[in-house]
Amino acid sequence: MYSGEYSCDGCHELGDGWVYHCDTCKFDLHISCVEASKKVSIFAKKFPYFTDFERRRRNAVESEKKRRESIERRNIEDVSRSNDDEDSEQLRKKLEDDDAFWRAVMSLLEEAGDYSIGDASSKKLLQVRLENSGLLASRQVLTTDFKSILDALEKSMLTSVTQLNNNQPPRLDQSVPQLQRICRLEKAIQVLSIRKVEEQRIVCTTSRSLT
């Protein structure tokens, strides 16, 4: 590429600015004419040195385009990875908060019910039952009356056991701490629910065999 007066071999007009020049072919071409792809392909067939030059130019342009796209992809991936890290951190914080909340709930339940729950599975079952019952509508656990929660929970569980036991109410020893009674009711609900499902399965099987 050089500057000076020349005649463009593409448009055959005179020029005096920057130009693409092939010294071997004695070939000059306006910069604007180089961008005209149809003309370029015609001239490339006639002038092999120009063909090689144009190929290298296009390769350089394509390489730069790919480089920029690669940088853009990396930037997008970095942002996405950063967002994933933030989401993971938020999830970890939420799990920690939930764990701390339920530890506080169980501690206050034990204090109100005068009984320590040693079984982790019992704690999980009670947690699920409390979540489903809606008795803990607020997470302000320190201001909650947990004796009233235990009373409501025991009453609802007594109703569930009675229904599952063919409307036969269970006999509970009132001298046993309230939270221990509730844990026993929870186990009874689990056993009776399994028995109820098994009875229904037997009934369905018998009905099909009779038909």
Section 57-75 average pLDDT = 76
Whole-number pLDDT of residue 69: 82
User: Which residues contact residue 161 at a Cβ distance below 8 angstroms, ignoring those fewer than 6 apart?
Assistant: 169, 170, 185, 188, 189, 192
Q: For residue 160, report the phi and psi dihedrals to the nearest 5 degrees.
A: -65, -45
How far is residue 12 from each of residues 6, 9, 113, 174, measured CA to CA in Å? 10, 5, 101, 111
Predicted confidence band at 37 (pLDDT cuts at 50, 70, 90)?
very low
pLDDT: which is higher, 3 or 96 = 96
Query: In the predicted model, what is the mean pLDDT of residues 21-29?
Result: 71
pLDDT digits (tens, 9 = 90+) for 67-77: 788 878 777 77
Checking if the pLDDT of 192 tops 80, the result is yes
Q: What is the pTM of this model?
A: 0.52
Burial degree of 75 (CB within 10 A; 0-12, 13-18, 19+): exposed
As a CATH number, domain 2-46 is: 3.30.60
Every domain of the chain and the residues it spans? 2-46, 81-210
Average pLDDT on 91-96 reads 84
